[in-house]
Amino acid sequence: MIQFVCKKQKKKLTCKEAAKMVVPYIEGRLGNKELRRFVNHIEECKDCREELETYYIVYKGLMQLDEKEELPMNIIEALNEDFAVSKQHLKNMSLFYVLSEVTKWLVNISCSLFLIEKIMELILGV
């Protein structure tokens, strides 16, 4: 069994765990942490990538029958586009996280400076 370690979370995602995430991924039901672990694993594990492709083809085929949707001409290319969208989403979320942390840091500094200023006014009577 192939295992991939996500450096940020330090948790191994096994192929068995990834297999359980395939349908939720296709249906867009994975949270950001799960999505990151899944995408990282799929990028590294050829067997799980092939399983994802198989499930994607079957899922989209069933959706076509149920909802009379037309399948894309190249369903694997459609999966690749969906996967690229997932990766871009994760990249955007990472940027959002960094910006939110920087904002928190700046707010804390501003509050500290304001507090220092008020303390100085009290001490010096200015």
pLDDT tens profile 76-98: 888 888 888 888 888 877 777 67
Range of the structural domain that residue 33 is part of: 3-98
Element housing 3 (H / E): strand 3-5
pTM (2 d.p.): 0.61
Question: Residue 4: is its pLDDT beyond 70?
Answer: no
Element housing 21 (H / E): helix 15-26
Residue 124 lies inside a defined structural domain of this protein: no
Q: Helix 32-44 and helix 75-124: axis angle, to 10°? A: 130
β-sheet bridge partners, residue 13: 4
- Mean pLDDT across 27-49: 92
Q: What is the mean pLDDT of the chain?
A: 82
Give CA–CA dist 80/103, Å, rounded. 34
Identify the pLDDT of residue 123: 86
Residue 92 lies inside a defined structural domain of this protein: yes
Give CA–CA dist 39/36, Å, rounded. 5
Number of domains in the chain: 1
- Mean pLDDT across 5-14: 62
Residue 115 lies inside a defined structural domain of this protein: no
β-sheet bridge partners, residue 4: 13
